[in-house]
Amino acid sequence: MKNALTIAAREIRSYFVSPVAYVVLTGFLLLAGWFFFNLLARFSYLLQIYSGMQQRGGPDLERLNLNEFVISPLLHNLSVVLVILIPVITMRCFAEEKRLGTFELLLTSPLRVGEIVAGKFLGGLAFLTVMLAGTAVYPALLVVYGDPEPGIMLSGYLGLYLVAASFLSIGLLTSSLTENQIIAAVSCLVTLLLLYVINWPADTAAPTLGAVLHYLSVTEHFAEFVKGVIDTRAIVFFFSLIAAALFLTHRSVESLRWR
Amino acid sequence: MIEVRNLTKRYGELTAIQEVSFTVGRGEILGFLGPNGAGKTTTMRILTGYMPATGGTVTVDGFDVFESSFEVRKRIGYLPESPPLYLDMTVDGYLRFVARIKGVAKADLDGATDRAVETCGLAEVRHRLTGHLSKGFRQRVGLAQALIHDPPVLVLDEPTIGLDPRQIIEIRKLIRRLSGNRTVILSTHILPEVSQICEKVVILAAGRVALEGRMDDLMKQGVSLEDVFLKAISKDEHAGEEAAGEAEASSEGAAP
């Protein structure tokens, strides 16, 4: 465990001394700000129209709430941005070590492969925490100036965090398979996109296959969280996805010894 | 201290080393000689536990490399062909990181780092990024990294490659100074290096041990290392030709 933390600490340092981290952070916050601004502008526009219609017995104003019209689409948009940005963050994790030869240092040190993988994962998780925490300013603004449901917001953020963590574990896996960072990034991006849209044929597929595809869909589990439903099934799904990806990473790193 | 017995490594079809055996005693410096591609790096990688052999055994200080890899890795300091540096870390930060993962006790982290910095003459570059260092300094950081946990065995893969003459002399001095009661295995294809610092020599040619001997024995026989080396290698080339000839003959014989 101590060794895993040592590796995680080095990993975090290495994130924050490289320009990649700052480009990713800036881009992520910039996009988040843009989404938030536009969603909020649309919300207040709708509010005006609805309240105008209200006097003539229009639709119910109660249906307009910040959670559904601002937070929920914001979180969904951010999850799409994560699909694109996480491969960029994880691509160097193992690939770079192999290129620099530092992998030889790690593997000839008295370290367990599990400690190396856990360290990389924890380091990445710390970076993602910073990244997601940066966007918390927008929901915080809503709490100060409006009255959204904080519970639903928190559950949505928990969902986004789990999505990010599973994407991270998949990124580690693809990075461990190659020494080429571009191959690592592209294969991670493709895997994440596939996981994102895997449920598209679910409704027309055979019932069993359909159910499987629905279950495998990151989007559907995430949507539950965003609605404020914390389902054990979804939590189990994300944890097993992370565990499976990290297990395969472990095998892939260990297999380097046997090639 | 180190016993290598019948070590064989195949990469798919290619046989990198075959039936390699030699021993190194405690405190000895072994020169590991051979032309490029003779299998020196492969042997060293197996020795350090980086990869397993296809056959044969290696024991370091009584521990088997395959069965008690952990114990062996604790006892070996390894400098691979290119020093394994994180280019975005300072020399100091890097050495502390290596000390931690090599299992140096927390209380001794500063001490171990200071010692390695001093031994390898890194005081002036201590706070610079390893990525900004010259090749000579990088090599020295690589050595410092191998020494940091004060291992009884040092495995150095071509420690003087690509350095200028002054740096080569410095690194050689350093290795001699380091050896003391440590066992050192040093691979190179520079012959004078071996005659200057090594007590024992193993010549590897085309994946086999062509010669294992003590330097003073060679001196006594009055032969220069150069002659021995060339003879060992050419013998192997002949063997290769003969083998090829036999293969041809047999394939001709097999044709109806």
Which of these ranges, A103-117, B68-82, B135-149, B221-235, has the smallest mean pLDDT?
A: B221-235
CA distance B65 to B182: 18
Confidence of residue A48 (pLDDT cuts 50, 70, 90): confident
| Contact flag A7-B101 (C-beta cutoff 8 Å) | yes
Which amino acid is residue A194, in one-letter code? L
Q: What whole-number distance in Å separates Cα of residue A210 and Cα of residue A125?
A: 32
ipTM score: 0.88
Structural domains of chain B in order of their starting residue, each with its CATH number: 9-84+153-254 (3.40.50.300)
**Closest CB from B52, B73, B81 relative to A108:** B73
For A90, the domain range is 2-258
Taking the C-alpha atoms of residue B144 and residue B113, their distance in angstroms, rounded to an integer, is 9
More confident residue, B71 or B256: B71
Check CB contact of A20 with chain B, cutoff 8 Å: no
**pTM, two decimal places:** 0.89
Q: What angle do CA A243, A99, A255 make, to 5 degrees?
A: 45
Kindly state the average pLDDT of the residues B185-202.
86
Asked if B10 is an interface residue toward chain A (Cβ–Cβ < 8 A), one would say: no
pLDDT tens by residue, A146-163: 888 899 999 999 999 999
Confidence at residue B236, expressed as pLDDT on a 0 to 100 scale: 57
CB B97 within 8 A of CB A6: yes
Percent of chain B with pLDDT over 90: 43
- What's the mean pLDDT when you consider all of chain B? 85
Question: Which of B100, B130, B185 to mutate to test binding with chain A, by most A CBs within 10 Å of its CB?
Answer: B100
pLDDT value at position B237?
A: 56
Chain B residue with minimum CA distance to A106: B101
A235 pLDDT band, cuts 50/70/90, is very high
User: Taking the mean position of all CA atoms in its chain, how far away is CA A172?
Assistant: 13
B133 and B91 Cβ atoms separated by less than 8 Å: yes
Residue A170 has pLDDT above 80, yes or no: yes
**pLDDT at residue B253 is higher than 80:** no
Residue A65 C-beta-side C-alpha neighbours within 13 Å = 13
Angle value at C-alpha B185, between B182 and B188, nearest 5 degrees: 140
pLDDT, averaged across chain A? 92
Interface check for A255 against chain B (CB to CB < 8 A): the answer is no
Binary contact (B88, A107; C-beta < 8 A): no
Q: What is the pLDDT of residue B165?
A: 86
Q: Cα(B132)–Cα(B89) distance, rounded to whole angstroms?
A: 10
Least confident piece of the model among A133-137, B99-103, B156-160 = B156-160
Q: Which residue of B has its CA nearest to A107?
A: B50
Interchain pair B50, A257: CB under 8 A: yes
pLDDT at A242 > cutoff 90:
yes
C-alpha pair distances (Å), A67 with each of A73, A142, A164, A227, A229: 9, 10, 21, 9, 13
- What confidence tens digit (pLDDT) does each residue in A11-34 have? 999 999 989 899 999 999 999 999
H-helix segments, A2-112: 2-17, 19-54, 66, 72-90, 92-100, 102-107
Mean pLDDT, range A190-216, rounded to an integer: 91
Mean pLDDT for the stretch of residues A211-223? 92
pLDDT digits (tens, 9 = 90+) for A57-101: 666 677 778 888 999 999 999 999 999 999 999 999 999 999 999
Residue of chain A nearest B87, judged by CA positions: A100
Rounded average pLDDT over B6-10: 91
Q: Is the pLDDT of residue B245 over 50?
A: no
Q: Residue A16: its pLDDT value, please?
A: 92
Task: Determine whether the interchain pair B49/A108 forms a contact, defined as Cβ–Cβ distance below 8 Å.
Answer: yes
Mean pLDDT value of segment B159-185:
84
pLDDT: which is higher, A73 or B172: A73
pLDDT at B244: 45
A14 CB within 8 Å of a chain B CB: yes
Rounded to a whole number of angstroms, the distance from the CA of A102 to the nearest CA of chain B is: 4
Question: Where do we find the tokens 């990198």?
Answer: B16
Total number of domains constituting chain A = 1
If one counts every other C-beta atom within 10 angstroms of the C-beta of residue A143, the result is 12
Low-confidence winner among B107-111, B123-127, B176-180 (lowest mean pLDDT): B176-180
Conformation bin of residue A210: beta by default, left when phi > 0, alpha when psi is -120 to 50: alpha
Residues of B in contact with A118 (CB under 8 A): none
